[in-house]
Amino acid sequence: MEPKIQVSHFTLGAYFDTGPLRWLYFLILISVYVLIVSSNLLLILVICFNRTLHEPMYIFLCSLFMNELYGSTALFPLVLFQIPKDIHTVLPPFCFLQIFCIYSYVSVEFLTLAVMSYDRYLSICFPLQYSARMNFIRVFLLIAFSWLYPLVSILLLILLSLPLRLCDNVIPKVYCDNYFIVKMACTDTKLNNVYGLIITSAIIMGPLGIIFFSYLCILKVCFKGSKQTQQKALSTCGPHLASIINFSFGVCFEVLQARFDLRNVHSVIRVILSLYFLAVQPLFNPLIYGLKLTKVRVLCKIAKKTKTNVELN
C-alpha cells in the first residue's frame, strides 16, 4: 500500500511549459472570458428588461445564460491565474469549490436543456393548453428544481470526497476534478464510486431521456402537421437541438478522456478538448440563440441603437 500523505495543496499536472507563449494564451483566454460574460449578460438584461420576452421559453433561456456565467466563472479565473505561474498548485478548499461549481454547472445545464425541451413539447404538441400547463408557478418550480437538485447532489458528492486520505496530490488536468481525487485515495472508495455513478447517470441519462421523448413527440406532430407547424418547430427547436448536441459532445469526450488512457493524443489537444464544454458552450448559446430567435435579435439591435443615440447626444 502506498503511504498516505497529508495534502496541503493539489498540483494541476496538465499545464506544460510554453515559455513566452503563455502570455499569448493568457490574452486569448481572457478575451474569450470577457466575450462570454458580456454576451450572456447582454442577453440576460435584454430578457429581464423587455416585458414582451417574459414568456416561459425566454425565462428558461435567462436561466441558461445565468448558468453559462456561473460555469465559465468557475473555470477561467483559476486558469488565468495559473497560466503565468511556473508551479501550478491550488489549495484544497479552492479545489473543492471549483469541483462543486463545475459539476453543478454541468448538471444545471443538462436539466435546463431538458426543461426547455419539455416546454417546446407542450408548445408544439398542446398549443391550446400551453398557457394553462406552463403557468408562472410551474415555470418557477422547474427552474428551482433545475438549480436546487444539482447543488444538493453535488454538495453530497463533495462531502463524500472531503474525508478521503490520499496517496498523491497531482491532478492531471488544468482544473480540479473529483474523479481524479477519488482515484488518488488510499482508503476504500466504494461509496464514492457508487454515488458518483448514480449522480452521473441522473445528471446525463435522465435529462437526455426527457429530451429524447420530447423530440420524439414533436417529430410525430410535425410529420402530421401543416407546413406552418413544421416551420415553427424548426425555428424554436433548431437552436435548442444545436445546443444539446454541442454540450453533449463536450461532456462525452470529457468522460471518455477521464476513463480511458489517451496519452497517445497530444497534450495540447487533450487540454483544449477538456475545456470544450466549459469554454465553447457559454459562447455558443448566446450566439445561436441571439441569431436564431427573432425577438431577441430585434431587441438587441434596438438596445444597441438606443445606446448609440444616447452616447451621441
**pLDDT (tens digit per residue) in 32-70:** 999 999 999 988 988 888 888 888 988 999 999 999 999
- CB-based burial, 110-140: b 16+ in 10 Å, e otherwise: bbbbbbbbbbbbbbbbeeeebeeebeeeebe
User: Which of the residues in the chain have pLDDT under 70?
Assistant: 1-7, 17-18, 225, 229-230, 232, 258, 260-266, 291-313
Pairing of strands 89-90, 170-171: unpaired
Tell me, what's the pLDDT at 296?
63
Tell me, what's the pLDDT at 1?
44
Query: Could you tell me the maximum CA-CA distance found in the chain, to the nearest angstrom?
Result: 74
* Cα(189)–Cα(200) distance, integer angstroms: 16
Q: Architecture of 10-312 per CATH?
A: Up-down Bundle (1.20)
| Predicted structure pTM score | 0.88
Tell me, what's the pLDDT at 274?
81
* Cα(84)–Cα(207) distance, integer angstroms: 39
Residue recorded with cell 457508487: 194
**pLDDT (tens digit per residue) in 225-273:** 677 766 767 777 888 888 999 898 888 888 777 676 666 666 777 777 7
* Cα(184)–Cα(179) distance, integer angstroms: 9
Tell me, what's the pLDDT at 303?
55
CA nearest neighbour of 158 among 142, 134, 177, 144: 177
